[in-house]
Amino acid sequence: MYFNLTQRLTRTFVRRICTGVSRNLMKEHSDSTFEKKLRSTVFYWTGLGVLVVGLSYAAVPLYRIFCQAYSYGGTITTGHDASKVSTMLPVKNRKIKVKFTADTALSMQWNFKPQQLEMTIVPGETALAFYTATNPTDKQVIGISTYNVLPFEVGQYFNKIQCFCFEEQMLSPHEQVDMPVFFYIDPEFTEDPKMEFIDDIILSYTFFEAKPGLELPVPSYAKSHST
């Protein structure tokens, strides 16, 4: 009887030791797996963040290269078109939201921004927007701008009557100026099936420092306009 009791106690003790060792091993394995998964997750989201930041910085130059290479509709014509202003009729049942953005080249030291973030217009109706440019430096700076419209396909229907693009603008040290953009969306916009679901447009201006030999890209599709 004593022997049997000793044997049962020994088995129980051994079983507890094995169970404890197994639990420790499983815990170590679980902790190791969790740490590996955590490291992988951190690396993934860090890499994704770097990629997003990189793409945001590359978006503007890549877009300019695309428009210049394929002469696509994002870049607007260099001339001014007022030929339809006196005869066109507003399409009141089609509202379009125009959003305004501003950018400067890396070498351009101006502060440049739109005075309004967005406005709602209708095709066939003229609109007036303003941008503000400030020269914060102690020297005279001459700038020149271009602008784009998104989505690309809307560019052919976007007409400016008056604006500051493609013309040199000189600002004295610490001078600030307001720059108007007088424009309209051609009523034919509403007749194009491809424009049916486009209700938001982005108008984006970019200023460069005017230097000898600088040529701003103008797509081959752009038609000439006269005032």
* 41/13: higher pLDDT: 41
Task: Return the closest-CA partner of residue 203 out of 133, 118, 95.
Answer: 118
Q: Is the pLDDT assigned to residue 165 strictly greater than 70?
A: yes
Q: Which tokens sit at 15? A: 């079983």
Report the range of poorest mean pLDDT among 6-20, 26-40, 126-140: 6-20
Residue 146, pLDDT score: 87
Residue 85, pLDDT score: 80
The per-residue DSSP string of 114-129 comes to ES-SEEEE-TT--EEE
Q: Which tokens sit at 14? A: 């051994």
What's the average model confidence in pLDDT over 26-41? 56
Length of the chain: 227
- Domain 96-209's class? mainly beta
Q: Determine what percent of the chain falls in helix, strand and coil, rounding each to the nearest 5.
A: 35, 30, 35
pLDDT tens-digit readout, 139-163: 999 999 988 899 989 988 999 888 8
Residue 31, pLDDT score: 54
Q: Token pair 């989201």 is at which residue?
A: 45
Residue 112, pLDDT score: 97
What average pLDDT does the structure give for the chain? 74
Domain locations in the chain? 1-75, 96-209
Q: Is the pLDDT assigned to residue 194 strictly greater than 50?
A: yes
Distance CA 151, CA 56 (A): 17
Residue 77, pLDDT score: 46
* 191/72: higher pLDDT: 191
**Under 8 Å between Cβ of 95 and 175:** no
Sheet holding 169-171, edge to edge: 118-121, 96-104, 200-209, 141-150, 169-171
**Under 8 Å between Cβ of 125 and 96:** no
What's the average model confidence in pLDDT over 90-112? 94
Q: Is the pLDDT assigned to residue 133 strictly greater than 90?
A: yes
pLDDT tens-digit readout, 197-212: 999 999 999 999 988 7
Highest mean pLDDT among 29-33, 75-79, 178-182 belongs to 178-182
Alpha helical stretches, state H, the chain: 2-70
**Under 8 Å between Cβ of 159 and 81:** yes
* 94/69: higher pLDDT: 94
